[in-house]
Structure formats: C-alpha cells, structure tokens
Amino acid sequence: MYKNNGVVLVLSGPSGAGKSSLIKEIADDIGEYYFSISTTTRKPRDGEVDGVDYYFVSEEEFKKDIKDEYFLEYALVHGNYYGTSIKPVKEALSKGKLVIFDIDVQGNTAITNRLGDITTSVFITPPTLSELRKRLQNRSTDTKEVIERRLVMAKMEIQRISEYDFIVVNDDLKVAAEVLKQIAKTARLKVPINKINDFVHKWEDKE
C-alpha cells in the first residue's frame, strides 16, 4: 500500500526564509526526489543558473506558455511571473517520486486543490521579521527597494500560515533541517484516495 505512489512536498515562506538552504541541507538524506524547477520572468541573481535554479524567460515567452496550458499553476509574485510546468511533475509522480515545490502561498492553494490527497505543505519562516530583514540584507542579492517589497509581501504571507500542514521555524539551520527531514520522510507515506479505496475493497475480501 505504501509503495510507488508519487507524492508532493510544498515548501513556502518568505523570500529569504532559508528554503533553498534547507533543501540543500537535507538533499542527501531524503532519498530520491525531484525538485520542480519553476519558470520565471525574474532576472537571475548572481550565481543563479538557467535550468538549475529556474528557467529564466521573457514575459512574452511566459504568456505564451500560459496560453499553451503548460503550467500546473502560476502566479504573479513581487511583480514577476513564476510557474510550475506540468510535464516533468507528471513524469516524476508517475515514477513514484517525492516531488518538491518551492512556491508561494497562491501556488500552495492551487496545488492543494489539484493534488491535495498526495500533498504535504510546509511553511518555512525565520523566527522574526527583523531576522528576515537581516538575512535578506546579508544575502546581498537584492536592492534595498526589492528587499522592502519582499518584507511587505512577507507580512502578507505570514497571515496565511494556518493553511499549511507544518511550520518550520528556521532559527538554527541544522535544527530546522532535521525537522524538515522528518516531514519529508513522512510525506512519502501519504496514500492517494484511489489506493485507499482499493485497499478497503481488498480488505473486505471483495473480488
């Protein structure tokens, strides 16, 4: 019953919460997984690689992909478009993989509506807003103006924290990684509704 069905792990949280750092930290300890690489119209930050961190495209290309129904979900976040492609996600799920998304609160709503029975959602946050500000400043990848915009967004996002299955407070990175590792392992045990129905059918010894 527990084997071979694909499952989804949604990670959300303010930009600068430590989602990428935590994924890196647990990557070698959670078994085989597929990290969904989103498509975005945001410009790459220093060190970001096209096809690794994101697929970086123009707004025109993004809008064409929307029209071609290429996305499982997409959203406008901080003035840029971000979207999750359907095809690689479908493929990974059909191979029974753990599929990890780093998406915002709008994306979580869309994924939960479409794939709720196989989805575990986690909201990741630094302990306080002022700590978030510090980390965004230390990361030195965004201008002052962009950081202020991200902090305003963060205050809005935190209001929707109760929509998530789990909350991970990323204070000490190692401790937070340990918690997230346990959640990822548990996420693998989610059973889709069709499998549950099959199980009940067999359990009742029906043909």
Chain residues in the site for ligand 5GP (CB under 6 A): 12, 15, 38, 42, 73, 75, 77, 82-84, 102-104, 106-107
- Residue closer to ligand 5GP, measured from CB, 42 or 135: 42
Is the Cα torsion angle 190, 167, 163, 24 positive or negative in sign?
negative
Q: List CB contacts of 5: < 8 A, sequence separation 6 or more.
A: 96, 118, 190, 191, 192, 195
Residues in the chain: 207
Residue 123 binds: one of ligand 5GP, ligand ADP, none (C-beta under 5 to 8 A by kind): none
* Token pair of 133 as six digits: 């500000």
- Residue closer to ligand 5GP, measured from CB, 83 or 126: 83
- Residue closer to ligand ADP, measured from CB, 6 or 18: 18
Which positions touch ligand ADP (CB under 6 A)?
13, 15-21, 135, 138-139, 170, 172-173
Residue 20 binds: one of ligand ADP, ligand 5GP, none (C-beta under 5 to 8 A by kind): ligand ADP
Using CB positions, name the residue nearest to ligand 5GP: 107
CB of 104 to ligand 5GP, least distance (A): 4
Any idea what DSSP says for residue 45?
A: P
- Residue closer to ligand 5GP, measured from CB, 6 or 83: 83
CB of 40 to ligand 5GP, least distance (A): 6
DSSP 48-63: --BTTTBEE--HHHHH
CB of 131 to ligand ADP, least distance (A): 8
- Residue closer to ligand ADP, measured from CB, 73 or 104: 104
Fill in the amino acid letter for 78: H
CB of 156 to ligand ADP, least distance (A): 16
CB of 5 to ligand ADP, least distance (A): 28
Q: List CB contacts of 131: < 8 A, sequence separation 6 or more.
A: 171
- Residue closer to ligand 5GP, measured from CB, 19 or 97: 19
Vertex 36: Cα angle to 30 and 19 (nearest 5) = 65
Beta strand 80-85 with 71-77 is antiparallel
* Token pair of 77 as six digits: 């976040």
| Contact between residue 112 and residue 119 where contact means Cβ atoms under 8 Å apart | yes
CB of 88 to ligand 5GP, least distance (A): 12
